[in-house]
Structure 1
Amino acid sequence: MRLTILGGGGFRVPLVYQALLGDRGDGRITSVMLYDTDRSRLSAIGAVLRQQAASAGTAAPGVDAPVVTETTDLDEALRGADFVFSAIRVGGLEGRTVDERVALDLGVLGQETVGAGGIAYGLRTLPVAVRIAQRIAAVAPQAWVINFTNPAGMVTEAMIPHLGDRVIGICDSPSGLGRRAALALGVDPSTAFYDYAGLNHLGWLRGLQSGGLDRLPSLLESGDALASFEEGRLFGADWLRSLGSIPNEYLHYYYFARETLAAVQAVRQTRGTFLLGQQSAFYAETARHPEQALELWQKTRAERESTYMVESREVAEAGERDERDMAAGGYEQVALSLMRAIAHNERASLILNVRNRGVLRHLDDDAVVEIPCTVDANGARPVTVSQLTDHQAGLVCAVKAVERSTIEAAAGGSRGAALRAFAWHPLIDSVTAARKLLDAYARELPELAPFRP
């Protein structure tokens, strides 16, 4: 089978390839096509992947690594693909730094997928994602599309009119939360069912079924168990018990918005600025020393993971991330499990971004939600979960309205729709602030020029 990776020069691509190298089953991916608009980034990541393959060949002789090909031609990348993995970043990390800085300068939280930054990111990403969806429909209509491009739920919903249910959004946050909660209980994560629901980067674990019992209440009762994993430390036992659930880590930006904003404003550089400098150094050093590509990537990745959401952890006094919090099993494993389930009709249960289809009564059937699904050769189908509480539904419906206004604005260039998206977001507290945000982003981001007054 052939996998095409859009954004093939991206820093996290080797995680996907490493997962493919670990797949020894029949019918595994044998060909990987990397597509990117930046040839130098493609060359750097290609060098990392070739060195990964060489290392895997030594460890597992007789097992051929997937053949890697690189291209800057989109149609060439898509032809013959069985699966398309989309992980593009329109505007690069330079755009992310603008997303963050503009918001912070106006006293609003700046984060790449949450709040003002996420709206700006969506406005410039959605037109590109839709054009890609149209090309996939024309060139590779048989392909299944796995979307990891952020904001993942919003982008997936915008691609569905062109690809239908053959596009499925993924994120590693829900599965990581479920895994950590199960381990804190001493439960095998692979045997548990996670009652999880919401939107991408806006969901809650409301139950953890194991052995016919919901084990979440016992987890919430144990201070020691909660303190043993990241979300427990991040939100604190008292707040989690008040909620009766465990939020996705990104909800820290909502529940502790004031403290997180102060912490982000106090640091020398934003997350985007840090990553821009770090990754620019990686690509430059790899160009000078391609024979060290894998070693350089591994070193850079370790630093990247250890500093993830550092401001939120400082607010919560959660300490450094431990090995269990950073353990393997992220989005690359979700993607591999999804591909195998579809390609080989191997029934799997995964938390994915798909159409609601009546599961959550507060949202319409076509709203993309993040929810447990059963996956087989026919694709992903959402399963029944408990309904959202009034609090959860209120927040989810508000953010879904923001997502849809962003999609409308990106599709038609409507300044009014873009303004609504900013003004309606729970983390933006006035229409005046929303208008200033839109104007500032339109001035600084070339892709948002159509929204200038």
Structure 2
Amino acid sequence: MRLTILGGGGFRVPLVYRALLGDRAEGRISHVTLYDQDPARLAAIARVLADQAAGVPDAPEVTTTGDLDEALRGTDFVFSAIRVGGLDGRATDERVALAEGVLGQETVGAGGIAYGLRTVPVAREIARRIARTAPDAWVINFTNPAGLVTEAMQETLGDRVIGICDSPVGLGRRIARALGAARPAEAWIDYVGLNHLGWVRGLHIGGRDRLPALLADDTALESFEEGRLFGAEWLRSLGAVPNEYLHYYYFNRETVRAYQQVKQTRGAFLRDRQRAFYAGADRTDLAAGEALAAWDRTRAEREATYMAENRDAAGAGEREADDLESGGYEQVALALMRAIARDERATLILNVRNRSALGVLDESAVIEVPCLVDANGAHPVSVAPLPYHAVGLVTAVKAVEREVLEAARGGSRATAVKAFALHPLVDSVGVARRLLDGYLAGHPELAYLR
């Protein structure tokens, strides 16, 4: 089996390759093609992967290319993990939004809209290239904003595009551990929403929903990150445990204030740390294993500082050791490929077409829910209706995503302003207009908006 990774010079690619190295079953991925437009980043990540493969029998072969059609030809799976504008673009997204007093996070609010407006045209073109060059390939989308980009690519490729995220997996694992589950991976998670906008409404262990017991136990709630982030009282009010990204909605004013007070935004921090890693990994005098060691150090620092501003705003303290583990998106991707390629049925939380799973949205809306996966793809399970407070957020954010898709399709500045203005975290049409002006000035990729 062949895998192509678009954005093959991306920092998290070694996580995927590490998961592939651990798969010894028949029909596993035997060849990985890394595609990227930045040769230096591509070479650096290829060096890390070579260090990972050292001493591993039959490690998947790795090749690199800057030719998209060459990368796609003959592949079975495509991982899309691109970042249009790079981390410089992310830092600009944050700076422009914070100057207007609104959130600039890369997938939520103004920053997410700006990122989507840059990314959707590129994702649509990639989908057309896949349709021409590798029409039988399955596309696993990592590219953020994941739900929006998955929906854009599905316009061309249909259900052969499946979006994944590690947030629901990590949240379910932490809840199961807080409940003392011996095998957290075997718990059934009643999770529903959009990407980075979902709620765990139940967690079933041995056929019994254990979430009510968790919500009644302050000590258990304070034992994991989301419990400390949101607070026991608010979680009991909701009767659910939200995805960590909902902290931006429920505690928006506090979070924006915390972001405005930091010396360096998250995007700028990652840009500088990863720039130093890539510069060091590109040296010709590195000894064996040094590139991988440098990547590990940079990744550990990245994980330790994740959502630091939100934790500061909530008084949640430093991350616990368990929280520093990788969220597991690479394991979700591996399980998804196994289920499709080998018909090894699995249940995974994925970003897929709604069909009739969530009644408040239309059939083609991409949602994030548990899915049954087999050789024919991912099939969303039926879920109970959302409470009205969640319906309001989900429908409002999906309406914004649709405006982004339309703005990118027609190149309409007015529609882009509408996308900003309709978002729950942007409080004025005037602010929306100034946001777009700021992003047009900072992002040459948005010159298509007229």
Determine if the TM-score, normalized by the shorter chain, exceeds 0.5. yes
Match for residue 273 of structure 1 among 254, 257, 268: 268
Residue 28 of structure 2 corresponds to 28
Deviations 1:258-316 (A, max 9, x none): 00000000000000000010011001111125432111101111101100000001111
Residue 128 of structure 2 corresponds to 134
1:195 aligns with 2:190: yes
Residue 97 of structure 1 corresponds to 91
Match for residue 386 of structure 2 among 385, 388, 391: 388
Q: For 1:391, what is the secondary structure of its paired residue? A: helix
Q: Within 5 A, what are the aligned runs for 1:425-436?
A: 425-436=423-434
TM-score where L is the length of structure 2: 0.98
Match for residue 66 of structure 1 among 43, 60, 72: 60
Q: Within 1, Cα distance between the matches of 2:131 and 2:388?
A: 39
Structure 1 residue 327 displacement after superposition = 2.2
Equivalent pair of 2:167/2:327 in contact (CA under 8 Å): no
Equivalent pair of 2:90/2:106 in contact (CA under 8 Å): yes
Equivalent pair of 1:156/1:169 in contact (CA under 8 Å): yes
Which one-letter code corresponds to 2:333 in the other structure?
A: A
Q: For 1:176, what is the secondary structure of its paired residue? A: helix
Residue 15 of structure 1 corresponds to 15
Equivalent pair of 2:9/2:42 in contact (CA under 8 Å): yes
Q: For 1:181, what is the secondary structure of its paired residue? A: helix
C-alpha RMSD of matched pairs (Å): 0.9
1:80 aligns with 2:78: no
Q: Within 1, Cα distance between the matches of 2:336 and 2:327?
A: 13
Residue 369 of structure 2 corresponds to 371
Match for residue 324 of structure 1 among 308, 317, 322: 322
Deviations 1:325-354 (A, max 9, x none): 122451101100100010110010000000
Deviations 1:70-128 (A, max 9, x none): 00000000011110000000000010011000001111111111000000000010000
Q: Within 2, Cα distance between the matches of 1:313 and 1:104?
A: 18
Residue 60 of structure 1 corresponds to none
Which structure 2 residue ranges, 5 or more long, are not aligned?
none
Q: Percent identity?
A: 70
Which structure 1 residue ranges, 5 or more long, are not aligned?
58-62
Q: Within 1, Cα distance between the matches of 2:229 and 2:286?
A: 39
Structure 1 residue 235 displacement after superposition = 0.4
Deviations 1:407-429 (A, max 9, x none): 11011101121011000000000
Q: Within 2, Cα distance between the matches of 1:443 and 1:297?
A: 33
Q: Within 1, Cα distance between the matches of 2:291 and 2:262?
A: 30
CA pair 126-149 structure 1, distance change in 2 beyond 3 A: same
Q: For 1:450, what is the secondary structure of its paired residue? A: coil
Q: For 2:126, what is the secondary structure of its paired residue? A: helix
Which one-letter code corresponds to 2:26 in the other structure?
A: D
Q: For 1:375, what is the secondary structure of its paired residue? A: strand
Residue 399 of structure 2 corresponds to 401
Residue 38 of structure 2 corresponds to 38
Q: For 2:364, what is the secondary structure of its paired residue? A: coil
282-291 or 303-312, which moves further after superposition? 282-291
Structure 1 residue 149 displacement after superposition = 0.2
Which one-letter code corresponds to 2:66 in the other structure?
A: T
1:213 aligns with 2:232: no
Q: Within 1, Cα distance between the matches of 2:315 and 2:336?
A: 36
Q: For 2:403, what is the secondary structure of its paired residue? A: helix
Q: Within 2, Cα distance between the matches of 1:329 and 1:448?
A: 32
Structure 1 residue 321 displacement after superposition = 1.2
Equivalent pair of 1:442/1:450 in contact (CA under 8 Å): no
Structure 1 residue 361 displacement after superposition = 0.7
Which one-letter code corresponds to 1:173 in the other structure?
A: S
Q: Within 2, Cα distance between the matches of 1:122 and 1:428?
A: 16
TM-score where L is the length of structure 1: 0.97
Q: Within 2, Cα distance between the matches of 1:300 and 1:191?
A: 32
Kindly report structure 1 stretches of 4+ aligned residues shifted beyond 3 Å.
Answer: none
Q: Within 5 A, what are the aligned runs for 1:218-297?
A: 218-288=213-283, 289-291=285-287, 292-297=290-295
Which one-letter code corresponds to 1:35 in the other structure?
A: Y
CA pair 435-309 structure 1, distance change in 2 beyond 3 A: same
